[in-house]
Amino acid sequence: MITVAIVDDEAKLRESIATFVNGSSGFKCVSSYGSAEAALKSLPADKPDVVLMDINLGEISGIECVEKLKGQFPDMQILMLTVYEDTEKIFLALAAGANGYLLKRSSPTKLLAAIREVHGGGSPMTSSIARKVVASFQRQKPSAATGEKNGPLSPREQAVLDGLAKGWTYKQLAGELDISIDTIRTYIRRIYEKLHVQSRTEAVAKYLQS
């Protein structure tokens, strides 16, 4: 059973998502909040497997809420569910620690698949969002991916980081690059060391914004 919490200021939408999640086999909505303030106060006690987070929440934005939650609970899995698809908000959300980015217009089936993927360690993104991430990634100069002490990323490491930016899972990366998952993990450890980061979202955000 994958437990889900919802943070969105639209009451009807929260109710609709909660009803759909509870009616789907293998999923349960344990809580929903209409503001970041309420979520920050009570959500940690709910211990959801996945949090669905809107961006436009009022005084404290969803992006700020993600940053605060991740600061206290770095292993919390948070999927942005929003209408915003501009590049700045995408990267701010990823840099804050979001594990995926889905548009509200996504189908219910895609929402469940994204929740399942985030819970399994993936980073799902709506296809239009993934294209923006990849486009920004491709505009960066290769020399941008340079660590302070360990030198630039190798071509293979850059290929792995490119896959991370697309939201691929370790299994997908291994298949695309025709190497084992253990080798993927080794490359990712090296990338983290060179970029001085501790998560895939930090790695992607630092590489794209450098």
Q: Where are the domains of the chain?
A: 2-125, 140-209
pTM of the model: 0.66
pLDDT score recorded for residue 19: 96
pLDDT score recorded for residue 6: 97
Fold of 2-125: Rossmann fold (3.40.50)
Tell me whether the CATH fold assigned to 2-125 matches the one assigned to 140-209. no
pLDDT score recorded for residue 111: 94
Q: Which residues pair with 27 in a beta bridge?
A: 2
Domain 140-209 top-level CATH class: mainly alpha
Averages of pLDDT over runs of 10 residues in the chain (210 residues) are 96 95 96 95 93 91 91 89 82 84 90 92 78 61 46 83 77 88 86 77 66
pLDDT score recorded for residue 151: 62
Which whole-number Å values give the CA distances from 100 to 50, 89, 108, 133, 150, in the listed order? 11, 13, 16, 12, 29
Give the CA-trace dihedral at 149, 154, 157, 163, to 10 degrees.
120
Q: What is the spatial distance between Cα 119 and Cα 133, in angstroms, rounded to a whole number?
A: 21
